[in-house]
Structure 1
C-alpha cells in the first residue's frame, strides 16, 4: 500500500494504524521490518530480499519504507508484479502529484492501493481535540476549543503534540479554559494584541493607544506588534478582494487557514464593509514604512509604532463615519 500526501504527520499516523490493524487481525505472528535509505545504500537489494523471504520471527512480515532516491519506479513496478509474496508492503510516498509515476503504478494495480492524506480540516481538528482530550478524561470549554483549533497547523503529529502539551500543562485540573490554551500554546500576548486590533477596527484611538502601552509595558517585542498588524491587514485585503469579486463574506473566509476566531468574525465583517481595498493598501503601506523606519531607528521604535496605531485607528474611524453617511 502507498500512503502519500502533504500532511507528513498524518501519513505516519496512518502507517502505524495500518500496521496495528494487520497485526491485530492476523492470527499469525507478524514481524515489522523497516528498510531505510541508509540500509539500501549498504545493500541495494535489501528491500526486494525482505519481500521475497520468510520472516525469521513470525509467520507474516510487514516491510515498510519511504520513497527515496534508492527506491526507483522500476523497483516499485517489480514489487507490485511479485507473485506469492508472504509480506505486506507499505510505502511512505510523501507529497506526490497526480502525475507521479509511483502513484500511478499503485492506483492502476489490482493488488495494491493508494491512500491520500490531506491536511486536516477544521472539522478534523475538532474531532482530534475531542479524541485526545476526552480520551484522557478532560473537558474543554467552547471558546478554549475554538482557540486551540485555530492554533493547530497542517501537520497531524504536531497538532497531536500541541494537544498533549496542553493536557500536561493543566495536569490535575480536568477542565481546560481559554487561558490554559493561550498559556500552553505560548500565546498569552495575543490577548492584548487582539485588543489593539479590535480597538483600531472600531476607530477608538484612545483605547488602542492604551492597549498598545500595556503591550509595551509587558515586554512585547514591538516588531511582533508590527508583524501582527501587517498580517491582520494583509488577511483583510485578501478577504476584501474576494468580496469585491462578487463573493459573500462567508464564501471569502470559508477556506482561510487558520480560520478567523469566532469572536472576531463580526469585527472582520464590519471592516470589510467599512474599508475599501485602496484604504487597506494604504494601511499596509503605512505599516511597511513604519517597520522599515523603526528598524533603521531603534530609539524611535516606540514612538513610530504608537503613531502608526493612532493613524490606523483614525483611518478606521473615518471609514466607519463615511459608511454611516
Structure 2
C-alpha cells in the first residue's frame, strides 16, 4: 500500500519508482494537481517527448463509456514510444476499468487528475492499495512551501531578491499553484537582465495583474455581483487570460468553498474557518469569502461544481466557444448566489 504524504510528493516526482501503473494526483489545489500530472508525463516521456504516445480523456467522457480506458491502454502504439494516458477530472466512475488494469497495465502509465478525495473514496482507495499505484496528494501551499518555491525559483534563475520581495509576493498571491507559477515566471523574465528584484518590481508587475482580476471573477461569481463580474471578465479577457484556465480556477474555488462549508456545517463560524486556513487568504478577500460561505449550501455547491465541470468539458471539445461558455456559466452561478 503506497499513500504518499503531501510533503513527500516533490521528492517522489524527482524520481518516481514506477514506469507503469496508475498515478493519481488529487487535492483541492487544482493548479498543483495539473502541475503534478504534467511533471509525471514529462518524466515518463523520457529524453524524447515527441516519441511518447499521450492520450487525453476527460472524466465525463469516460463516465459515458468507461471501456474506452481499457481499449486505449491495451491498444498497440502504431509509432512505438511510451504509452501514457492522462485522465482529467477523474472520478470513481472509472474504478471498474482501472480494476482491470491495476495489476497488468501493459507498460502504460495512467495519470489521473482529481479533486480533493476523502480516504474512503473508491478511486483513491483503489490506487493506494494497488502494487502499481501511487496516490499523490496536492494541497494548497503553506507559507513555508510558498516561500520555499519562491526561493528555489529565484535561486535557479540566479536572481537576488530583496528581503521584502517574498512577503510582499506572498500577500498578493492566492493558493493556486498554477497562478503562483505564472507570476513567478513573469518575475523571472522581468529580472533576466539585471538579476535583481525589489518590492517595487513585485508591486508593478503583480499588484494589478491577472491574479487580482481572477480573484474579482471568483468573488463576484460566488457572491452574486453581476455588474462586478462583467467588469472583471472584460478586464481579464482583454488581458488575454485563458478562459479555460478561468473555468478551472473557478472549479477550484467552488471546490474550496465546499470543503470549507463542511466545517461551517459542523458548527464553526465562516470567519473562524477562514482564519484557520494556511496560507490565509489575502485580507482584502476575507469579507467576500465569508459572505460566500454564508450564501452557499453544500448541495448548491455540488450543483455549481457539476456545472463548472461540464463547462470545462464543453470548452475542450469546442475551444472556439470558450469565452461564451465562460460568460454563460459564471453568470448562471452568479444568479444562483444572488437568489440564496
Query: TM-score interval w.r.t. the shorter chain?
Result: 0.5 to 0.7
Shift of 1:38: 6.7
CA shift digits 1:277-300 (9 cap, x unpaired): xxxxxxx9xxxxxxxxxxxxxxxx
- Cα distance change of structure 1 residues 102 and 39 upon mapping to structure 2, 3 Å threshold: closer
1:40–1:70: 8 Å Cα contact kept in structure 2? no
**77, 87, 97: which one aligns with 1:75:** 97
RMSD: 3.5
Q: Which residue of 2 aligns with 1:160?
A: 181
In 1: Cα distance, 2:190 partner to 2:280 partner = 23
2:91–2:123: 8 Å Cα contact kept in structure 1? no
Matches within 5 A, 1:55-134: 55-68=77-90, 71-81=93-103, 83=104, 85-134=106-155
Shift of 1:121: 1.8
**258, 280, 299: which one aligns with 1:258:** 280
Which protein has the larger Cα radius of gyration, Structure 1 or Structure 2?
1
CA shift digits 1:11-43 (9 cap, x unpaired): 11111211222222799x532221234754886
2:162–2:198: 8 Å Cα contact kept in structure 1? yes
Q: Which residue of 2 aligns with 1:30?
A: 52
1:147–1:178: 8 Å Cα contact kept in structure 2? yes
Shift of 1:176: 0.8
In 1: Cα distance, 2:65 partner to 2:128 partner = 28
Q: Secondary structure at the match of 1:113?
A: strand
CA shift digits 1:85-105 (9 cap, x unpaired): 131111112211112111111
* Larger RCO (CA under 8 A, 6+ residues apart): 2
For normalisation by structure 2, the TM-score amounts to 0.50
In 2: Cα distance, 1:183 partner to 1:98 partner = 43
In 1: Cα distance, 2:45 partner to 2:172 partner = 35
More displaced stretch, 135-144 vs 32-41? 32-41
Q: Secondary structure at the match of 1:142?
A: coil
In 1: Cα distance, 2:276 partner to 2:57 partner = 42
Q: Secondary structure at the match of 2:43?
A: helix
For normalisation by structure 1, the TM-score amounts to 0.52
Q: Which residue of 1 aligns with 2:33?
A: 11
- Cα distance change of structure 1 residues 151 and 8 upon mapping to structure 2, 3 Å threshold: same
Matches within 5 A, 1:1-325: 1-24=23-46, 30-37=52-59, 40=62, 45-68=67-90, 71-81=93-103, 83=104, 85-170=106-191, 172-186=193-207, 257-258=279-280
Unaligned runs of 5+ in 2: 1-22, 210-274, 288-340
CA shift digits 1:199-252 (9 cap, x unpaired): xxxxxxxxxxxxxxxxxxxxxxxxxxxxxxxxxxxxxxxxxxxxxxxxxxxxxx
In 1: Cα distance, 2:57 partner to 2:207 partner = 38
In 2: Cα distance, 1:158 partner to 1:150 partner = 13
